[in-house]
Amino acid sequence: MRQEGEAVNSLQAVIAKMPRIELIAGPTPIERLHRIEEALGNSLGGVRLFVKRDDVMGLGGGGSKLRKLEFLLGDAKTKEADTVIAVGGRQSNHARLTAAAAARCGLKCELMLTQAVPRYDTDYQQSGNVLLDNLFGATIHDLPSSANAWDHANARAISLRAEGRGAYVTPTGGSSPIGCLGYAACALEIVEQSRALGIQFDRIVIPNGSSGTHAGLAAGFVALEQAPSLVRSFCVLANEEDSRDTTAKLLGATLQLLDVRASVDATEIDVIGSERGSAYGAPTASMMRSLRLMARCEGLLLDPVYSGKAFAGLLAGICNGDYAPGHNVLFIMTGGSPGLFAYRNEFAG
Ligand SMILES: Cc1ncc(COP(=O)(O)O)c(C=O)c1O
């Protein structure tokens, strides 16, 4: 078996060859949730809780999508794009961060936003991420829920190219193998921080929307010769089975891109569907409780669509004894706090 250092070096070397634009200044911090541990008391069962602060990044309000955009915009630059097109729901964090990153890189940005979530109040339609999309100078194309945003984006790219412009369409949620490289690189970052802190993380917990965060992290850990089940996600968009399949496919394609000859079966991928609720973007009581607990105990912000649901799943798992006493669990705070302003009605009072 190869030494761990060798696997680290070869993953670093492969990633270093990929086109990348720096959008994040250095590793995001890892912090212990002392006050939540105290609040959970005996029900914590001796589990130690940590967060990786991917919500703390200098650009555009920060969040997980910047990791993917470092590689996607790197690819866009090599293809001489002058315009980036992103697709998403009205309150897409990926769209907002694409707009911010495009501004930083001197690229134009167009967003194809659908009414994926049936919320038509002013807060949802005008505040939160949409307000920031406008501030970052993006052109917004409003599409109905029935529209295929991906087709619209590609049609727009074709017409821009016909005018002699260079258009680059980013994948939904930034989740292509190229986008997943951002979280494969994050796996390296976690391994280095783990060594520096002297803490071995037994489980890493994340939300799963378009599955690129899970696939990228798991690909990184597999490249580092660790089990893909180190990563557990709570799906919030598709159901559990579909999310697991999408994650497995993306993970396989990302391993290929990384030139890692390992195969991972879908049964080795840990996706849990208990927190999705009635639909994508529909608030749940457990999301509201977890979000308030994090805010009131730690002064930290989860978001109502992704991280709030995933953290609720982590808390439920702790109470059910899913994590062994003495285990170190790392929750990745993926950002998305602008979405809170779109859900003002839920949180008022
Ligand atoms: C704040 C936040 N967390 C998590 C996710 C999920 O990441 P992925 O789409 O890679 O599964 C998203 C995706 O939009 C997000 O905006």
CATH number of the domain enclosing 123: 3.40.50.1100
> What is the best residue among 68, 71, 91, 93 to mutate for testing ligand 1's pocket, by most ligand atoms within 8 Å of CB?
93
Looking at the fold, whether 170 and 274 belong to one and the same domain comes out as: no
Looking at the fold, whether 74 and 48 belong to one and the same domain comes out as: no
Looking at the fold, whether 123 and 138 belong to one and the same domain comes out as: yes
Residue 4: its pLDDT value, please?
A: 74
- Closest by CA position to 189, among listed 25, 19, 17: 25
Count of domains forming the chain: 2
Q: Which band of pLDDT confidence, cut at 50, 70 and 90, is reported for residue 1?
A: very low
Rounded Cα distance between 134 and 272, Å, is 35
The domain boundary residue, chosen from 126, 155, 174: 174
Q: Is the pLDDT of residue 52 over 50?
A: yes
Phi then psi for residue 197, to 5 deg, are -85, -15
Helix or strand run (H / E) with residue 181: helix 177-197
The domain boundary residue, chosen from 174, 206, 240: 174
- pLDDT single digits (tens) 164-223: 999 999 999 999 999 999 999 999 999 999 999 999 999 999 999 999 999 999 999 999
Whose Cα sits closest to atom 6 in ligand 1?
209
Residue 216: its pLDDT value, please?
A: 98
- The tally of CA atoms less than 13 A away on the side-chain side of residue 71 is 27
Say which DSSP state 107 is in. Answer: -
Domain of residue 77, residue span? 65-174
Give yes or no for a contact between 195 and 234, defined as CB atoms under 8 angstroms apart.
no
Looking at the fold, whether 15 and 102 belong to one and the same domain comes out as: no
The residues that are catalytic are 92
> pTM for this one?
0.98
Looking at the fold, whether 210 and 313 belong to one and the same domain comes out as: yes
> What is the best residue among 132, 213, 302, 340 to mutate for testing ligand 1's pocket, by most ligand atoms within 8 Å of CB?
213
Looking at the fold, whether 69 and 198 belong to one and the same domain comes out as: no
Looking at the fold, whether 226 and 336 belong to one and the same domain comes out as: yes
The domain boundary residue, chosen from 118, 153, 174: 174
Region of 3 please: left (phi>0), alpha (psi -120 to 50) or beta: beta
- Closest by CA position to 32, among listed 214, 300, 213: 300
Percentage of the chain modeled with pLDDT above 70: 99
Looking at the fold, whether 218 and 280 belong to one and the same domain comes out as: yes
Taking residues 120-145, what's their average pLDDT?
Answer: 97
- The distance between the two most distant Cα atoms of the chain, rounded to a whole number of Å, is 65
The rounded Å distance from CA 323 to ligand 1 centre is: 24
Rounded Cα distance between 292 and 91, Å, is 21
